[in-house]
Amino acid sequence: MRSVSSSRRTRTLLAATAAVLATTTALGASPALAAEAPAGRYVALGDSYASGAGVPDQVDSACTRSNRNYPALVNAALAPTAHKDVTCGGATTVHMTSAQNSSAPPQFDALSADTGLVTLTIGGNDIGFANIILRCVSLGVFSPAGSPCKNSYTWTGTDQLATTINATAPKVAAAIDGIRKRAPQARILVTGYPAILPDDGSNCPSVVSIAKGDAPWLRDTHKRLNTMIATQAAAHGAQYVDTYTKSVGHDICKPAGTRWMEPLLTSAAAPFHPNAAGEQAMAGAVLTAAR
């Protein structure tokens, strides 16, 4: 997803291989997993949840890419013959086949016939993640006990975000099909998004101004997005990686050291994005799926 720390307005509102290997071991990655590495190259595609936006150390500022993102950890554990990480903050499905900026060509350019494994994290920016967060955090300031954000998206009688998620489904499907066309032998792992807010539907107004009535609706919207991604993965010959279930209890409302997702005011990652522990958890889910 797009880095929410990329603008002043949003901010207001709202080392070595050994070290990487040690991290993946802590996640439960068995040393034997290296023997199960896929033949060929590993290519990582996706948005800021895959790039590790704001997680130290950032090695590509244009794409908010961290050397501790989940693709780096997966690569260290699997040790494929080659690795290419083209994940980029702000990426949508459009950027699979179109350049995102001067230093980020189409992500599909990284694919080739000898690619053996592809991970993909995409769809959040297609539904307007940054704008959703900005609107809900802003409106929650004025009606903390209500559901102002939900009301703003459903005032016509139709849930606009549900409609947008449905409209994004064929885009995700096309992305998966595009990978298969360019890397016909690759195993494709498509991740969902880990929990941002408490799974019980509660909120934490002292941490972030998301209204009480908006929190369960946002949780349900998040789950709807993940369900759509899982459905498209299954229908198009890819494997869905559930990053949500194990993230329950590690949302932005939890204290530092427990949370895997960062709140609005943070230096550990981009706001509303996975921190280093969150990226580790996503890597663990991918590694489990890759076995």
pLDDT digits (tens, 9 = 90+) for 73-115: 999 999 999 999 999 999 999 999 999 999 999 999 999 999 9
Count the domains in the chain.
Answer: 1
At residue 216, the pLDDT reads 98
Beta bridge partners of 46: 121
At residue 42, the pLDDT reads 98
At residue 40, the pLDDT reads 80
pLDDT over 80 (residue 58): yes
Lowest mean pLDDT among 28-32, 79-83, 202-206, 254-258: 28-32
CB 47 within 8 A of CB 89: yes
Residue for token pair 């595609």: 45
At residue 17, the pLDDT reads 31
Mean pLDDT of 212-240: 98
Give the separation between CA 269 and CA 257, rounded to whole angstroms: 13
In three-state secondary structure terms, 13 is: coil
Mean pLDDT of 34-63: 87
| Token duo for residue 184 | 């016909």
pLDDT over 50 (residue 21): no
pLDDT digits (tens, 9 = 90+) for 163-202: 999 999 999 999 999 999 999 999 999 999 999 999 999 9
Confidence of residue 22 (pLDDT cuts 50, 70, 90): very low
Q: What is the CATH number of the domain that holds 156?
A: 3.40.50.1110
CB 54 within 8 A of CB 270: yes
At residue 1, the pLDDT reads 57
Tell me the pairing of strands 41-46 and 82-85.
parallel
Domain hosting 160: range is 4-290
At residue 39, the pLDDT reads 54
Average pLDDT, rounded, for the chain: 90
Q: What percent of the chain has pLDDT over 70?
A: 87
Mean pLDDT of 54-81: 97
Q: Which residues are catalytic?
A: 48, 273
Mean pLDDT of 120-134: 98
CB 77 within 8 A of CB 65: no
Confidence of residue 10 (pLDDT cuts 50, 70, 90): very low
pLDDT over 60 (residue 14): no
Between vectors from CA 58 to CA 273 and to CA 204, what angle results, nearest 5°? 20
Tell me the pairing of strands 58-60 and 65-66.
antiparallel
In 3D space, the residue among 246, 191, 244, 256 whose CA is nearest the CA of residue 219 turns out to be 244
